[in-house]
Structure 1
Amino acid sequence: MTDERSSNAGNGGRETNHTDDETPPARGNESSPDSTADGESDRLSIDRFHDACQQAGRPVLTADGVARALDRPQEDVSGELEELADRGAVQRLSVSNDPVVWYPSELEDLTEKERVVVFPKRREIVLDRPTQFTRAQLSQFAHLADGNGEKGYRYVVRPEDVWQAPHEDFDDLERTMRQALGQRSERLEEWVRSQWDRARQFRLYTHEDGYTVLEAQTPEVMGNVARQKLDEEHVHAPISDTEDWVREGAEAAIKRILYEAGYPVQDHRDLDSGEALDVDLEVSLRDYQQTWVDRFAEAGEGVFVGPPGSGKTVAAMGAMAEVGGETLVLVPSRDLARQWAETIEEYTSLGPHQIGQYHGGQKNVRPVTIATYQIAGMDRHRSLFDDREWGLVVFDECQHVPSDVYRRSTHLQSQHRLGLSASPIREDDRQTEIFTLVGPPIGTDWQALFEAGFVAEPELEIRYVPWGDDEQRNAYSSADGRERYRIAAENRGKIDEVRFLLREHHDAKALVFVDYLDQGRELADALDVPFLSGETPHHERRRLLEEFRRDERDLLIVSRVGDEGIDLPTADLAIVASGLGGSRRQGTQRAGRTMRPAGGALVYVLATRGTREEEFARRQLQHLGRKGMTVREQTVEREQTSDDSSETV
């Protein structure tokens, strides 16, 4: 792919800058129109004005400031500024603290330009007003760390981003980098090349006699890395200076250990693909979904990362069709297993006789089987899955995979592995294990999907609510630890606030989330609506969700079971009444219940004013703010009346 902005002729009207001691491109001024034939070098020119701004460290200066910076009389400078203004080179602006300040006219144009600033030492790229093309190119080798459209975008180039870059050789990656940045950054490119080389130092392959071999590029890297990190649990013995005979079943551990040492292992084993399975996708993939599938097909493994509502499940079915082999899908709960089965039947050419579910409710192993992680990890069931040769294993909600219970399911062998996650982060910082156990991240930044209209960006607002009564306030003051948090979470003042928000949005379909069963029951009684929790029988849970999905019901109270264990229908309004001590992933899941192509969705997070819930709310939603969502904060002042409540903010 080529792009006219990346040609040597220029940057297509955008600004690019290097920092971290890199030499910036020189500004040409050999033939400045402000120079004079008789050599009046002291006379003010636009270039000398720039010099004064740089010396003062400000883009806007008074005449006195210019005179001081250039060590010239203010009277002379004032007249010459007027001349520059007449020619349009600078602009004047009256302000309250000084009669007039001056700034270059070109600053007015910069507000509409794409600007790129590269920090090679920190491996960061900051953009203002980037085009979709630039962001698409950046997503191939960098991670979006902060994505608020109003404040700009900050990308970080991490080792794993380079390791999984979808390019055949480094020249292609280098070309993509220069297209994205509009410039060369030798220091950054040198580091990226080193990571590119690291990702190609080790590979696993199948020996002609059927066993697995770990091969290194050189004897030095084999001796100084692999043979220092691995022991007899992982390898039998050396075969040569660059090859070791791998113990059966140790492949996943080897990949994890070397990945953590900074050397991802390429897996070139001849894994069994199982029986062929013709799968036709009966829905068209969006462009970004097709890109995900193409990158997965090239790598043979990966994790689809995207916001709720971006269609990761449908993209996974595209991967199934690409693989064309028998597939095992692992999910956290039987409700999700049922929903997966229904979705596969709806969106693919597969019939009910080809789709099986294996969990506490039913146990059928078929060409496409959906099982729960818990069942797949149990010894008495695991042989059923081990004995079948899977072409593809899909790990839904794969952020759970590093946990001890779910990890056992990753020992299942298959030709291809695919993970799905809206937010592959963990509070125990074990998220790198997700990518070693399943595959590298593949995704599109959230803000790009918001702007393209594929996924609606919900409006997020934290509302700091007063105490509902003095009894709870006093109990909070005398409590400590976890009990203190629970009292704040169950603040009865939140019942009035939920009522208020539901009245304000009386036409909305709403979900109210709680962490505590007692609070959920109290809210359900106060609002006269059902409370959906882990105690709700499966048939009752399914009926309530179907009624909500068909618009026969417009309000549900939902416990933690709604975070990941079931596929909740989308809503116009989500109110988080408690749960602020939960994970960043939980905040993502709950906000995601309002994400859909139609706009106007709202998420309100309630925190008891003056308690640690305030801190929890900010921390939980900060992660979403970095992904491009706008987060507002409001303090509620409520006056109680005998039969209702009124509120000011």
Structure 2
Amino acid sequence: MRSKLRPYQSEALEWALKTANLRGGAVVSLPTGTGKTLVAIAFVERWLRRGSKALILEPTRFLVEQTAKRFRYEGIDASMIHSGVKERDWSRRVIVTTPESALSYLRKKYGAFPSPRAVELASKEFQVVVIDECHHTVGNDPFAQVMQYLYHSTKLGLSALIPRRRTGEITYYIGPIRRWDFSDLRGKGYEKPYMIAEVYEAPLRPIEEELYRKLYELWLSNPLVSNFAALALTTLSRDGCDALRDSANRPTAFAEFLLRNVPIASLPREPHKLAVLERVLEDYEGNYEKALVFVNRRCTAELLAKRFSHFNPVKVIGGRENADPKARKNLLEEARRPETRLIIATSAGDEGIDVPEVDLLVFWSHVSSPLRLYQRLGRGLRPALEEGKVKYAVFIVTPGTRDYDALPESLVALAREGVDVAGIFDDMSSSALGEGLMMAQKVKEISHQLGVRGVGSEALVYSLSPRYASARVERKILRELEESVRAGAIFYFYDVSDVYSEIQSRAEMGDTEVYVLLGLNERRYTPLDELEDVMKSSPENFMDSSLCIDPISGLEIKGAEEDTVQWFKIEMYKLVTSGARASKVADLFESLASECPTALVRWRFKVSYVLIPIDDHSMRLTLTAEYGPYMAKNIKQIRAALYNTASLWNLISGLAVGSEGVSLCDRMVKILRARGRG
């Protein structure tokens, strides 16, 4: 392993190894953000030395990708398998996957039911199993079903919170539990935060997914109803189907839109986030005195008050009934009573809530404004600074929608205020988090229809917009493409064959001065999950050779400290001037990602007045290509973009060889070195 364990991590590892050897399994309960994944990797490494094969179960595809990357960073080759991966390699010694994918594999190989023979064979294949968020291994959850097949395997369970009512089942399925709280970690390399944030995912149900796709297509292609479609998308993903139903019952133009386009009567009666909220309150049982749930709609507050009546809830809704200062004072006094365990506040009513006893904040409807988000958190959790007590914030979000898209920037703002969001960033470290996945699916469908690898922006606009689309619709589609690139769902590249054809055409016309600007119209888009296939099918566009990027004026990094940016540019300058390959530069970007995962990077490839010899004359070429913005953590995107940059460089330098008696690379290196001295 490359990383060194902290004292408390070493303590947890040794206990887990000893207990697992004696009892067949162990459960390590460490607070969020303490590096449980590193403990798991060290545990697996010990067993790999004995020739074992390991299965690592993560609750989401986002965490699958993050954990697999961390295994590889530590020098352990791991196969990453989830529903979005086409090529699934189950033969490697370390498999990181979701419980759903693991269950499908086990059923297919060993039978639909875990017979004694199936259990014996499955446990021999995967002698070691790591179960992250192991409080899911109960009931009929896929985690629990996988555990039935792997009953005889050595197990390591990980969780920040072990609900009391689930302790028995978890011990039965995995092994003895040991908890490390913040007092146990004092003086052992861990600094206690005053607040820990966590994300729970609440996916849409099939009928809601279909409705979301329909609304998305309306929003994208029909300018007459795009505003209403956008509002419906937000309402469905953020608040739930009951909020859509409530909106449809109002005398508004939005209601008319909903009644025309949404099958209100067939929607579920309860919002998709309700069951997840129940799980949150259950999981945190024993860790909070009072919970404060933020919702956006009055109808949601009313529904939650009825469902959780046993919590003696208080609604802080806002409006006329709470406008009177005396009435509001009485309401807050009621909220402070010991028997009140749940406070439900709407966005119109959460101003001035000051209940120090609140130690669990739940964001049912979160806000996109970092300032507004921090104001909300501050009301419930700022007192923790004075009390020295750790409090919790939970975000219930809908994956694959704009509800997820609003979260990252807010979390960055919280991290700057000292809030521990490490667990969330792990969960959100996938290629794409939100609505970018929807656009990626559209790009995939169109590329398959056209039978091409990489679709041009013009073809996408034509396919996604109505026949006589306005400029506004086209701009919206292009803006969505850019946002999807930034989210990590889509990748674009420039086809060097197209670039060469353009230069050749201009040469045949006898032009002596040629300016080529590679922009939106020259880009070819592909969903990220098909990028490897695209790279294999067109290797001329993705060369691991030297490349030329001016790190001084052609590279932009946002969201990182100035010292980090300067360090990065200096290191990149060294690589470029030494003729390093694109893969070496990509490794440098990976180092940046480990420090600033959410930083945005973009660069410009530019060559100016390159002399290209033609049969009977010479042509001066200026060419510019823009790349990004990419989030630093989406290293797969960045690596492919660097390879594409190297391919452009290889094309231009090949055309310019012999011109002016000096190679193009030599001239660019001289320029960079001169700037570096300046």
TM-score (norm 1): 0.33
Between structure 1 and structure 2, the one with the greater Rg is: 1
TM-score (norm 2): 0.32
